[in-house]
Amino acid sequence: MPPLFVRRAAVRVFFWRSPTLSSLVESAVNERILPRFADKTMAAELVSALSDEYAVVENPPYIHPRYELYPLSRGVSRLERGLAAAVMDMDGTTTTTEPVCIHALDTMTRRASGRADDPSWPGLDHARDYPHIIGNSTTKHVEYLVRAYGDG
């Protein structure tokens, strides 16, 4: 049975009813017609169609939901064309990503400055670096790190 469309206050709302849920999910994903709301079974089908592997990020106790799932792309051990750019933009509007962002900036700084294999380098300093890499824009964060650690 196809999705049932209901109009309320000029907003189209999708309610899914079907004995063949997986075929509906496949059709919805292929045709880019996705439901606005889904029950637990539909949500599981939609999420499982995104990837074979997921990152699980636990939120602090004051954030709902308790954890979030992020689909991962197929991993590769070597880029066929090399790296053209690295983009990191985790502003924490809908998730608590500060620890992940700081880890990503630390890893980028270690690798770009040649400190990746230097056990004596302790990493980004909480007092010195964090005020420059938390808040503001990713561009400003990277500009600061290049100025601070670009001589490595």
Render pLDDT for 71-81 as a digit per residue (tens, 0 to 9).
988 887 777 77
Tokens of 63: 């954030």
Tens of pLDDT along 11-65? 344 444 444 556 666 666 566 677 788 899 989 988 888 899 998 888 888 888 9
Query: Does 148 score more than 80 pLDDT?
Result: yes
Average pLDDT, integer, range 67-96: 74
pTM: 0.41
pLDDT of residue 135: 78
- Measured from the Cβ of residue 10, the count of other Cβ atoms closer than 10 Å reads 5
